[in-house]
Amino acid sequence: MSEVRHNWTKEEILEIYNRPMMDLLFDAATIHRKQHDPNVVQVSTLLSVKTGGCSEDCGYCPQAARYHTDVEGNDLMSVSQVKAQALRAKEGGSSRVCMGAAWRNVKDGQEFDDVLEMVRTINKLDMEVCCTLGMLTENQAQRLAEAGLYAYNHNLDSSEEYYKEVISTRGYQDRLDTIDNVRKTNVTVCSGGIIGMGEKIEDRAGMLVALSTLDPQPESTPINALVAVEGTPLEEEKPVSIWEMVRMVATTRIVMPETQVRLSAGRTQMSREGQAMCFFAGANSIFAGDKLLTTPNPDVNEDMKMFDLLGMNPQKPFTKKVQPQSVEASDSRFEALGEKPKWTRPEHKIERNEAAKAKGKLVK
Ligand code: SF4
């Protein structure tokens, strides 16, 4: 019942998503219990190591330079700042630190060398290290792997069809190419998406087709509920209901039985009861810390209280895969090649993104 399949169709996934809620919950929970300890949740801390000023036009993102939002930009944090934050995260019960930089793609040079040093530093704290830095070449993925990276996050965001309605500055294939470059290393893949961006249920199913037909499937899949931020093109989207979240989590669990399904953005809008239903439906990881890059997230203590209440425990680091060894910069086998990732920019503009950009210019 829970073997991993890589040939899911949109119709099959829609049938699962639309099952009566009690059947859906039962099926997802049954698969979840076969593959995972239902009382263990992996906890990650997301750290924005470089905030704002991004050249992309992702319609949901307050860090895109072209939109006017309240996000204050920051240069890349120092290695010592990152180490201090990682230690705090470890004390708070996190087994993983995920470092996010608002970059279109990684550029070889001092900043990337600093990120590699951050990866080595956190790995030496015996924590899993994840990065989300935009598009990557194969050489850059190899360098991250050599530094001891555990996971790389690169979300598909939505279905290929709806992606074109949200982002114009890169294509779906560019996302898949970066995931492919990560797959050429021993770094695990974290890839998921966002619901509540105005997409149809078919697009949610389409995204799950794209993720589940990857072979191997991603080791981690974040399911985000859009946090509609003022100034972004999606500022007027209505919040998704908890029922939609539960359906999405349960469907993801069924089509990707071994993946860690991550409750990500939008958790502040969920009650404890709602989150508990998501855990029952197969979610088994969360982001901790009071901020998710730039949007609010529940306080760590609140999460630990919720775990106590539910009798759940945080997952220990390197439970699913052994700790990678970090190679010091001086012993690296790779040199910076100065490559740019190839990208396939579609020749189209997105009306609501252009409108938000124009509005942003007026305010600035
Ligand atoms: S989601 Fe990432 S790539 Fe897109 S605008 Fe925001 S920071 Fe840039």
Tokens 């990866």 belong to which residue?
119
* Confidence (pLDDT) at 364: 62
CB–CB of 43/288 below 8 Å? yes
Q: CB of 136 closer than 6 A to ligand 1?
A: no
- Quick one: the chain helix, strand, coil %, rounded to 5? 40, 15, 45
Q: Which two tokens stand for residue 259?
A: 């993946």
Q: CB of 223 closer than 6 A to ligand 1?
A: no
Q: Where are the alpha helices (DSSP H) in the chain?
A: 10-17, 21-35, 79-91, 110-124, 138-147, 160-163, 172-183, 201-212, 242-255, 272-280, 300-310, 351-363
Q: What is the number of the ligand 1 atom nearest to the C-alpha of 101?
A: 7
Q: Is residue 278 flagged as an active site residue?
A: no
Q: Whose CA is nearest to atom 7 of ligand 1?
A: 102
Of 183, 204, 262, 267, catalytic: 262
* Confidence (pLDDT) at 287: 87
* Confidence (pLDDT) at 93: 87
* Confidence (pLDDT) at 266: 84
Q: Which two tokens stand for residue 88?
A: 């705090």
Q: CB of 199 closer than 6 A to ligand 1?
A: no
CB–CB of 211/256 below 8 Å? yes
The whole model's pTM is what? 0.94
* Alpha-carbon gap, residue 133 to 188, rounded angstroms: 15
Consecutive 10-residue averages of pLDDT for the chain (364 residues): 86 98 98 97 93 90 87 90 93 92 93 97 97 96 97 97 93 94 97 97 98 97 93 92 97 98 89 95 87 66 89 94 94 90 71 86 70
* Alpha-carbon gap, residue 86 to 277, rounded angstroms: 30
* Alpha-carbon gap, residue 335 to 115, rounded angstroms: 15
CB–CB of 246/277 below 8 Å? yes
* Confidence (pLDDT) at 148: 97
CB–CB of 189/179 below 8 Å? yes
Q: CB of 61 closer than 6 A to ligand 1?
A: yes
- First-to-last alpha carbon distance for the chain, in angstroms, is 55
